[in-house]
Amino acid sequence: MGSLAALVVAVSTALVAPATAASADIPGRDEIAKSPNMHHLANIPKQGPLAPETAYGSDWAFKGKYAYGGNYEGFTVYDISRPAKPKVVTVVHCPGSQNDVSIAGNLLFLSTDSSRSDDSCKSTPKPVTDKSAWEGIKIFDISNPAAPAYVKAIETKCGSHTNTMVPGKRGTAYIYVSSYNPDSTYPDCQPPHDLISIIKVPLKKPADATLIKEPVLFPDGGNPGDNLPYPEGTRATSGCHDLTAYPDKDLMAGACMGDGVLFDISNPENPRTINSVRDDKNFAFWHSATFNNRANKVVFTDELGGGSAATCNATIGMEKGANAIYDIVGKGDKRKLRFRSYYKIPRANTDTENCVAHNGSLIPVKGKDIMVQAWYQGGISVWDFTDSRKPKEIGFFERGPLYDDKLVLAGSWSAYYYNGYIYSNDIQKGLDVIDIRDRRTDKGKRVWLSELNTQTQPDYFD
């Protein structure tokens, strides 16, 4: 346990709706509340230049015994060969929010979504209205995890908020770049920006990586949005926030601001829309997506308030800032997304805690649909959606508010299951390792991967 170790408080897993939860159910500042099946094994605080409060922990990628944790100031390489005693291998200082990461072979891809003076790791902020400013994808060689080597950068329109690795043939990989928020005053990010960027990477010659296509995914302009006040208004579609590929099924799910989309990626250079859905009543911002292993369901998240608002309370209720579970019905090009239910954590948060549905992954239990998910200061939820209409929580872990008197961006950004353990990248607290010990999830410990990008879902049982 790191220097930020907190008092562990075991609490009941009974479902308590935010509208009726008493303040006594909310852990105090720096306290941990958890279900009895969630065992907190370790915490490593953020290190060095990645430690300040403004240096937010972000996404994860995994390879072998190493975890790569993104941060707005760079990324950290951890040795997780002993999950209860993880170690920092190295810290790479390379500013450029939000520094989401993915891995293909010995290469790491880092998303830069802030306007920088150049494409180096020594860049400084520069106005996005300046034509010479840079945003996009950086490529690192991680064949030596202790000394990642910068290889190349590729500029993309509107930068790279997130990136998704899609395997190609004959030693290639494709990086799908998601970005959004165009403006007529931004030289490199002009409206309508209804596209993604596709980078083709020869894995043995990454310096030859090139931007090959910018397919328009919303030729009709996508969801026009509405004029309701923040945070509840539906955002207009102007690009995608996140894309989750399932290469073994030739499918991809897109969370694209105002739209949820199912794509065919059998030709990775030409993704093709199969079906799209909207939920202007309860979804403000389609943020991310997760398939179940059979690829007959998709969980979409609504990042109501952009991740910086307190939405896990009675004022917002249980259907906004939640997950939406969709079944995929039909076959081939006739497949449709059919809404079944919402899922939101069944605990109240204070008004100083940013809390909303965020990044998670499947726990590989054959015949069941179970995932672990981050909820910012709402903590980590393990929940079962095998019955699409009746999702239920089976475990949780959360800390009390970072502050009692102000709301600061904090909590778990990404909580993923990898080789038997849950790894959480907490925005402020750093790495947390959790072992869920429960008969409903224990079979997942038998599934072993050599690599995991959660936005490139594997078929766990093929």
**Averaged pLDDT, groups of 10, the chain, 462 residues long:** 29 32 71 97 98 98 98 98 98 97 98 98 97 98 98 98 97 98 97 97 98 97 87 90 98 98 98 97 97 98 96 93 98 97 96 97 98 98 98 98 97 98 98 98 98 98 90
For 32, the 3-state DSSP assignment is: strand
Contact yes or no for 135/159 (Cβ under 8 A): yes
Give the residue from 289, 290, 326, 319 showing the smallest Cα distance to 304: 319
Beta bridge partners of residue 303, listed in sequence order: none
Measured between alpha carbons, how far is residue 185 from residues 127, 130, 131 in Å?
A: 11, 9, 10
| pLDDT of amino acid 293 | 98
Listed in order, strand segments (DSSP E) in 292-379 are 297-302, 323-329, 336-343, 360-363, 370-374
Pairing of strands 392-399, 66-71: unpaired
Lookup: tokens for 117? 């003076």
Q: What is the SS3 assignment for 395-444?
A: EEEEECCCCCCCCCCCCEEEEEEECCEEEEEECCCEEEEEEECCCCCHHH
Give the residue from 277, 265, 426 showing the smallest Cα distance to 354: 426
| pLDDT of amino acid 24 | 53
| pLDDT of amino acid 21 | 38
Give the residue from 85, 65, 63 showing the smallest Cα distance to 165: 63
